[in-house]
Amino acid sequence: MKKVLRKRLPRDLKSNLGRYIALILLIVLGIYLVVGIVGSAEVILHGTEKYRSISKTEDGQFSVFLPLTDDELASLSSDGTLIEEMFYIDISLNSSQTLRLFKNRKDIDLIQLKEGRMANADGEAVLERRFAEVNDYSLGDEIEIGGVKLTVVGIGSVPDYDQTLQSFSDTAVQSEQFGLLFVTDSQYAYIRDNSAQVAEEYVYAYRLAKGTTDDELKQKIKDLDFDYTKVENKYFRQTIDDVLENRKMIEDGLDELYDGSVELHDGMTELDSHSQDLRDAADTLFDNYLDQANADP
């Protein structure tokens, strides 16, 4: 039997050599793909965690109609949660391009520079990396935004805009048309106060304290008092006015419905009273009829 197998095996290998080579290559390719995917995933996971630590990536964001007061911020961060302003304004460079202007980050979502340095003085700016690459901006170039000329002293990126989408409804990144710009606090305030742009968006990023959940922070934010009369953004104010007007219409309708129900109740009570009088009169008439019938011979 062994002798037969020793003769058959070489013949079988020789006659099906192409098939066996293909199987061996397929196995090697499968092993290569699995090892490559696992290795890439490991690198990505470790790289992401390292980048998150360096950039101090946020746990989340929330936006409000009005900037939070110092007391409100103290209340939200009383458990150790770190909260930082991420206010911004969108400013048009031209008819087709928009830059989102931020202040330099201090504690959360830090800028990671690819080249250059941070904007340390008025007249300087850090430009988002992808926008700079696509539109051929480099260190030393000037950008005029809101009537102010800024020199690009740094090019980098931030973790909260790993995809530079202008809004969550955008389906794809359009770096030719939208990018980010970071300047000093004083430069941001000057451009904001002297620009004819629509509005400033009040966004806060946070890093949760140990043991605190997003839901707990959300509930704290809901518990804050909100004075809508202090809203300056005309679009938000119009939305609030429309909501309040609709609410007033509903309240007026409910008041009218209540008044109608009271009138209906009073009418039903009066009708019931009249019905009782009629029943009493009918009973009296019937009793008189019986008395008269019994009195006849």
Task: Give pLDDT, residue 151.
Answer: 95
Report which DSSP code applies to 116: E
- Taking Cα atoms as reference points, which of 201, 108, 210 lies closest to residue 159? 108
**115, 218: one domain:** yes
Q: Which residue has the tokens 């095996």?
A: 9
Q: How many domains does the chain have?
A: 3
**171, 40: one domain:** no
Which pLDDT tens digit goes with each residue over 12-63?
767 777 787 888 899 999 998 888 888 887 777 666 667 777 888 999 999 8
Question: Is there a domain that residue 145 lies in?
Answer: yes
Which pLDDT tens digit goes with each residue over 232-247?
556 566 666 666 677 6
Task: Give pLDDT, residue 43.
Answer: 73
Question: Is there a domain that residue 288 lies in?
Answer: no
Residue 180, SS3? Answer: strand
Question: Is there a domain that residue 180 lies in?
Answer: yes
**117, 204: one domain:** yes
**14, 152: one domain:** no
Which pLDDT tens digit goes with each residue over 98-122?
999 999 999 999 999 999 999 999 9
Sequence length of the chain is 297
Tell me the C-alpha distance between 169 and 172, whole Å. 9
Q: Decide if pLDDT at 274 tops 80.
A: no
Cβ-contact 64, 73 below 8 angstroms = no
**83, 160: one domain:** yes
**238, 124: one domain:** no
Residues 6+ positions from 224 with CB-CB distance below 8 Å: 68, 72, 75
CA distances (Å), 122 to each of 36, 105, 193, 280, in order? Answer: 48, 15, 15, 95
Task: Give pLDDT, residue 22.
Answer: 85
For residues 179-201, give the mean pLDDT.
87
Query: Would you place residue 81 in the very low, low, confident or very high pLDDT band (cuts 50, 70, 90)?
Result: very high
**223, 236: one domain:** no
Query: Would you place residue 6 in the very low, low, confident or very high pLDDT band (cuts 50, 70, 90)?
Result: low
Q: Which two tokens stand for residue 25?
A: 């290559």
Task: Give pLDDT, residue 256.
Answer: 82
Question: Is there a domain that residue 295 lies in?
Answer: no
For residues 78-91, give the mean pLDDT.
93
Q: Decide if pLDDT at 67 tops 90.
A: no
**157, 171: one domain:** yes
Task: Give pLDDT, residue 35.
Answer: 87
Query: Would you place residue 207 in the very low, low, confident or very high pLDDT band (cuts 50, 70, 90)?
Result: very high
Question: Is there a domain that residue 294 lies in?
Answer: no
Question: Is there a domain that residue 290 lies in?
Answer: no
Q: Which carries the bigger pLDDT value, residue 9 or residue 37?
A: 37
Question: Is there a domain that residue 50 lies in?
Answer: yes
**85, 226: one domain:** yes
Q: Which residues of 162-201 are buried (b: 16+ CB within 10 A; e: fewer)?
A: eebeeeeeeeebbbeebbbbbbbeebbebbbeebeeeebe
CA distances (Å), 163 to each of 127, 136, 173, 174, 186, in order? Answer: 15, 19, 6, 9, 27
- Taking Cα atoms as reference points, which of 155, 166, 158 lies closest to residue 100? 166
**45, 145: one domain:** no
Question: Is there a domain that residue 167 lies in?
Answer: yes
The reported pTM is 0.65
Backbone angles phi and psi of 135, in degrees to 5: -100, 15
Report the mean per-residue pLDDT for the chain. 83
**11, 152: one domain:** no
**147, 27: one domain:** no
Domain boundary among 201, 230, 259: 230
Minimum mean pLDDT range among 36-40, 163-167, 216-220, 234-238: 234-238
Range of 243's domain?
231-276
Cβ-contact 140, 122 below 8 angstroms = no
